């Protein structure tokens, strides 16, 4: 990941999983996440993210293959640290692999990856992916222990989980924001690239976008939800305006 300018703010990467969720409601062809990704890029997104889940509830293998051919910015593949997914990632070769925890019964990725508790297994998975030339980011809670473990298992980047920040209100939100600021500083100090995401919205994105070490924001649901009403390009541009305003 290239360092984002301090004034310009972090890059926006758009997760198009929920375009596929709408398509899968009828198991048809529309709307196509490949088309949505192209529109997001035209509107200024600097990355496209998909989560290929074990149960294929939204993104399909075909989407990933086509996105690899069509994405002209950077393609970030979110996936569980399983043998099947490692095989797919090494064949498709996204620009970045983000390892996330995955449980079938969850509605969305609920927590960060428990890196500290599974250093041996993750060292092996990260080593295989990076040995194949694929940079790896780990999706972790904004805690020093997890960030330190991410560094120890060989990751090049961390994505800080903003889900708790997004759910908190008032003083609690300020406390979680403080944890994000400290974790971002700690990660950058350890030589890791830093991104953040999950649950970010037009209303809550600015304090996270203002954290100087955060180079990229990964945002999905709220952009797709707005895009359903006003179109993808406008939804992306409105988010970019919020992000760029945060460091002005
Ligand atoms: N980052 C990660 C690792 C995720 O799993 C998700 C959800 O798929 C996101 C970011 C985007 O979250 P949201 O859809 O709430 O913007």
pLDDT at 3: 52
Residue-by-residue pLDDT tens, the chain, 248 positions: 545 555 678 999 999 999 999 999 999 999 999 999 999 999 999 999 999 999 999 999 999 999 999 999 999 999 999 999 999 999 999 999 999 998 766 676 678 999 988 999 999 999 999 999 999 999 999 999 999 999 999 999 999 999 999 999 999 999 999 999 999 999 999 999 999 999 999 999 999 999 999 999 999 999 999 999 999 999 999 999 999 999 87
Per-domain residue ranges of the chain: 11-243
Distance (angstroms) between ligand 1 centre and the Cα of 195 equals: 12
Which pLDDT score, from 0 to 100, does residue 8 have?
77
* Predicted local distance difference test score (pLDDT) of residue 248: 76
Contact 14, 223 (CB under 8 A): yes
pLDDT of residue 105: 67
CB atoms within 10 A of CB 168: 15
What is the CATH T-level fold of the domain 11-243, as seen in this structure? TIM Barrel (3.20.20)
**pTM of structure:** 0.95
Using the mean position of ligand 1's atoms as its centre, give its distance from the Cα of residue 197 in Å. Answer: 6
Rounded to whole angstroms, the Cα distance separating 123 from 192 reads: 16
- CA-proximal residue: ligand 1, atom 11 (nearest): 198
Cβ-in-10-Å burial (0-12, 13-18, 19+) of 9 comes to buried
Q: How far is the CA of 17 from the centre of ligand 1 (A)?
A: 9
Ligand 1 atom closest to Cα of residue 201: 16
- State the pLDDT at residue 247: 82
Residues 100/78, Cβ–Cβ less than 8 Å: yes
CB-based contacts of 60: which residues, under 8 Å, 6+ apart?
Answer: 20
Ligand 1 atom nearest to 100, measured from its CA? 3
Residue 145 annotated among the catalytic residues of the structure = no
Helix residue ranges, H only, 170-220: 170-189, 205-209
Q: Which of 202, 203, 218 to mutate to test the pocket of ligand 1 (most atoms within 8 A of CB)?
A: 218
Pair of tokens at residue 13: 């990467």
pLDDT score, position 57: 95
Task: Calculate the alpha carbon distances from 218 to 30, 58, 83, 105, 236 in Å.
Answer: 23, 17, 25, 23, 12
């Amino acid at each position: 990941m290239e360092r984002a300018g301090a004034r310009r703010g972090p890059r926006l990467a758009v997760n198009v999983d929920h375009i596929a969720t709408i398509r899968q409601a009828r198991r048809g062809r529309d709307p196509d996440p490949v088309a949505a990704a192209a529109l997001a890029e035209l509107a200024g997104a600097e990355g496209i993210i998909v989560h290929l889940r074990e149960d294929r509830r939204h993104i399909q293998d075909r989407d990933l293959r086509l996105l690899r051919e069509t994405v002209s910015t950077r393609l970030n593949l979110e996936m569980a640290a399983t043998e099947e997914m490692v095989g797919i990632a090494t064949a498709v070769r996204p620009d970045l692999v983000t390892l996330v925890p995955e449980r079938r019964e969850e509605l969305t990725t609920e927590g960060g990856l428990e890196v500290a508790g599974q250093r041996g297994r993750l060292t092996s998975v990260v080593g295989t992916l990076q040995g194949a030339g694929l940079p790896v980011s780990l999706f972790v809670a904004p805690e020093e222990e997890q960030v330190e473990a991410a560094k120890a298992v060989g990751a090049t980047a961390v994505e800080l989980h903003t889900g708790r920040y997004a759910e908190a209100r008032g003083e609690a939100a300020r406390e979680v924001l403080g944890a994000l600021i400290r974790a971002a500083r700690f990660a950058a100090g350890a030589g890791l690239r830093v991104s953040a995401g999950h649950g970010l919205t037009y209303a809550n994105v600015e304090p996270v976008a203002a954290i100087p070490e955060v180079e990229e924001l990964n945002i999905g649901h709220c952009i797709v939800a707005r895009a359903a009403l006003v179109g993808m390009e406008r939804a992306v541009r409105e988010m970019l305006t919020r992000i760029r305003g945060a460091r002005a």
